[in-house]
Amino acid sequence: MPWGFEEGRVYNRRREIHGRYGGQQRGGIITPADHALVICISGEEGEQHGYSDRMRADGVFEYFGQGQVGDMQMLRGNKHIRDHAENGKDLLVFRNTADGLRFVGQYFYEADHIERAPDREGAMRDAIVFELRHIDAILASENEHANAPRPDEAPDLAELRRRALDAASAVPKQKKQTGSVFERAKAVREYVLARSKGRCEDCGEPAPFATSAGQPFLEAHHVRRLTDGGPDDPRFVIAICPNCHRRAHFGADAADCNARMLGFLKLIEKL
């Protein structure tokens, strides 16, 4: 549960969000000064002006930015959303309901675009629309097992590492286009799986089974949060078996597991 919030559960804004993390008491974007956190509140306010936040068919959540009158500017809360990964902050989305704030989930900024929409006074203006992707979609993309090239066709490990590092270094200075998050995840996954040579990089056991493509089944795990130092850095991603992966997330010794994995990565990646 990111920051102690459970998806689908309704929380009291004053007590369970501001009381715990602080931040602005008003407005739809909360940026607590003492926590690596950006909170977006999605509500019904925009509908009276002819626009509202919405979920696209491809799983992207479109969130209208901050600014009630005139053209929206990439300042203050809007800038915090765009730069949350660069600033090492997690982005959480809540939905305003009659009972309180329902936690929608942890998201990741992917892109933004401009739409013409009315402001509070009814005048048409440029509105910033953020395109946010649920973090589970990014993690799931890393663990998709597509057909891999035959060994005699595959790039060598050094080349795969170079590609993964190049993909990671393109973020977040370069504003992302739709799909680039998944392309980056794919490059990182290809490298860490090749590095593992078919064995779990934590327990050392062979992958528990082979996929339909004949590849050893291992999963990519981040030993640090995606937003620590930029997303999908291959030097902090490890290939592990499903059992070790669940233990790293849900085990009573999860913190120790991740510390051990980080030590392994520091050794082999020479961090």
Q: Give per-residue pLDDT as tens, 149-208.
A: 445 555 788 888 888 777 666 544 444 444 556 666 778 888 888 999 999 999 999 999
> Is 147's pLDDT higher than 50?
no
191 and 169 in a common domain: yes
The answer to whether 72 touches 128, Cβ cutoff 8 Å, is yes
The answer to whether 221 touches 241, Cβ cutoff 8 Å, is no
Higher pLDDT, 158 or 31: 31
> For 2, which DSSP code?
G
> For 228, which DSSP code?
T
> Is 70's pLDDT higher than 50?
yes
DSSP string, 147-203: PPPPTTTSPPHHHHHHHHHHHHHTTTTSPPPTTHHHHHHHHHHHHHHHHHTTB-TTT
* pTM higher than 0.75: no
128 and 159 in a common domain: no
Q: Which of 77, 99, 134 is the last residue of a domain?
A: 134
148 and 124 in a common domain: no
156 and 120 in a common domain: no
Q: Which residue from 226, 148, 245 is spatially nearest to 185, judged by alpha carbons?
A: 226
97 and 10 in a common domain: yes
191 and 264 in a common domain: yes
Comparing 13-27, 51-65, 126-140, 225-239, which segment has the lowest mean pLDDT? Answer: 225-239
122 and 19 in a common domain: yes
227 and 124 in a common domain: no
Amino acid identity of 194?
Answer: A
Q: What is the CATH number of the domain that holds 130?
A: 2.30.280.10
Q: Domain range holding 43?
A: 2-134
Average pLDDT taken over every residue of the chain: 83
| 71-80 average pLDDT score | 96
72 and 39 in a common domain: yes
The C-alpha atoms of residue 64 and residue 66 are separated, in whole angstroms, by 7
222 and 255 in a common domain: yes
Task: Assign 65 a pLDDT band (cuts: 50, 70, 90).
Answer: very high
223 and 205 in a common domain: yes
- The alpha carbon of residue 237 and the mean position of all alpha carbons in its chain are separated, in whole angstroms, by 14
Helix extents (H) in 69-134: 76-82
207 and 116 in a common domain: no
Question: How far is residue 44 from each of residues 18, 24, 117, 262, measured CA to CA in Å?
Answer: 21, 19, 15, 43
Rounded (5°) CA angle 24-28-30 = 35
What's the structural domain count of the chain?
A: 2
The C-alpha atoms of residue 157 and residue 197 are separated, in whole angstroms, by 10
* SS3 state at 17: helix
Q: Which of 115, 134, 153 is the last residue of a domain?
A: 134
Q: Which of 134, 159, 176 is the last residue of a domain?
A: 134
